[in-house]
Amino acid sequence: MSQPKPILLTGASGALGRVITKGLAAQGWTLRLTDIAPFPDPLPAEASFTRMDLNDGVAVLRLAEGCGTILHFGGISVDQPFEEVLGPNLRGLYYIYEAARRERARVVFASSNHSIGFHERSEKLDDDCRFRPDSYYGLSKAYGELMGQLYWDKHGVESVNVRIGSCLPEPVDARMLATWLSYPDLVSLMERCVLAEATGCAVIWGASNNARSFWGKDAREKLGWTPRDSADPYAGQLAGKLSGNPVIERYQGGAYTAREYSRTSPSPK
Ligand code: NAI
Ligand code: 15L
């Protein structure tokens, strides 16, 4: 059998990039890591690291040569002004998809719950719900997902758009009882995204098996992914950990929805 093609991972030096690097390297994958910031950990045996700005289209195309999957985790990862988001998250995303088209590679895109953040917490959303971004950052994630749709329909480029909830070692407030994604569940999801036979243009809710989840149907069966962890055991200590802000508590995107919020009356249901 021929060697599996290398995996390109952008955002490798970030919090999730480091977790994915460790997890996939332990499974023996050959990794091509990249970030604008230096890689802070010892480099695994089958990995190389190239410092690169996602705004540099030529460098992106060059680095993707020969790769079979692009795990795209690089870019602005929190609520920032439009001008900050524009380069890495919009232009950079375009370069990633152009590279994928050339290489016939699959893109796994680190989308975010903030692409749908203005849905109410009382709603249970399926993967075909309307985008309701809560920030320019969330808007850039909706754009990224739609780019995946464009490249699938026009070029047959496969993508998995993972709407990540809150991925950190442990949930830290009441909202994360719904949105938490554990590190082991993130790694197992990445492995399935790489190995799945066919994905088309898929959406996955990036959350562990949380009873309070805001989210329902998605493409996990097609990928063969089952999250193993759950935020439920943290309910006793976190259920009362609320913000005290009615806007934050009303919407799925939490604090991002309330930043620079200037409505004087709540939007109709
Ligand atoms: P992070 O901020 O730790 O990592 C992002 C990485 O992108 C950083 O290492 C940064 O240096 C790099 N980067 C920024 N601008 C760049 C540029 N112009 N060129 C090249 N690299 C650049 O964020 P984290 O938490 O690791 O998130 C990774 C991805 O997952 C992000 O795309 C984020 O939007 C997404 N995500 C993360 C969630 C979480 O709970 N951690 C939730 C939802 C989505
Ligand atoms: C995200 O998209 C961010 O990358 C992360 O820092 C958290 O804010 C997360 O969403 C969340 O909603 O908890």
Task: Break the chain into its structural domains and give their ranges.
Answer: 7-258
DSSP alpha helix (H) spans, 77-175: 82-85, 92-103, 136-155
Which residues make Cβ contacts (< 8 Å) with residue 248, sequence separation at least 6?
254, 255, 257, 258
Position 267 scores a pLDDT of 80
pLDDT digit string, tens, across residues 249-260: 999 999 999 999
Say whether pLDDT at 97 is over 90.
Answer: yes
Q: Inform me whether the pLDDT recorded for 269 exceeds 80.
A: no
Rounded to whole angstroms, the Cα distance separating 46 from 28 reads 7
Taking the centre of ligand 1 as the mean of its atom positions, its distance from the CA of residue 75, in whole angstroms, is: 5
- State the average pLDDT over residues 35-63: 98
Q: What pLDDT is stored for residue 3 in this prediction?
A: 78
The single residue listed with the structure tokens 């590190």 is 183
- How far does residue 15's CA lie from ligand 2's centre (Å)? 12
Taking residues 93-100, what's their average pLDDT? 99
10, with CB counted inside 10 A (0-12, 13-18, 19+), is buried
Active site residue 183: no
CB-ligand 1 contact for 77 (6 Å cutoff): yes
pLDDT by residue (tens digit) across 141-170? 999 999 999 999 999 999 999 999 999 999
- Percent of the chain past pLDDT 70, that is, above it, reads 100
What is the predicted pLDDT for the residue at 1? 59
Reported as a single tens digit per residue, the pLDDT across 57-80 is 999 999 999 999 999 999 999 999
The best mutation among 16, 76, 78 to test binding of ligand 2, ranked by most ligand atoms within 8 Å of the C-beta, falls on 78
Average pLDDT over residues 106-110: 99
Looking at the DSSP assignment, which residues form a beta bridge with residue 215? 125
Task: Give the tens place of pLDDT for each residue, 181-201.
Answer: 999 999 999 999 999 999 999
Q: Where are the beta strands (DSSP E) in the chain?
A: 7-10, 31-35, 47-51, 69-72, 106-112, 159-164, 166-167, 180-181, 201-206
Average pLDDT, the chain: 97
Q: What is the pLDDT, as a whole number, of residue 265?
A: 83
- Say if residue 95's pLDDT is above 80: yes
- Kindly name the residue from 97, 137, 234, 256 that is annotated as catalytic: 137
Which percentage of the chain shows pLDDT scores above 90?
Answer: 97
Nearest Cα neighbor of 27 from 50, 48, 46 is 46
> Ligand 1, atom 44: nearest CA belongs to which residue?
112
What CATH architecture does domain 7-258 belong to? 3-Layer(aba) Sandwich (3.40)
Q: Which ligand is closest to the CA of 162, given by its number?
A: 1
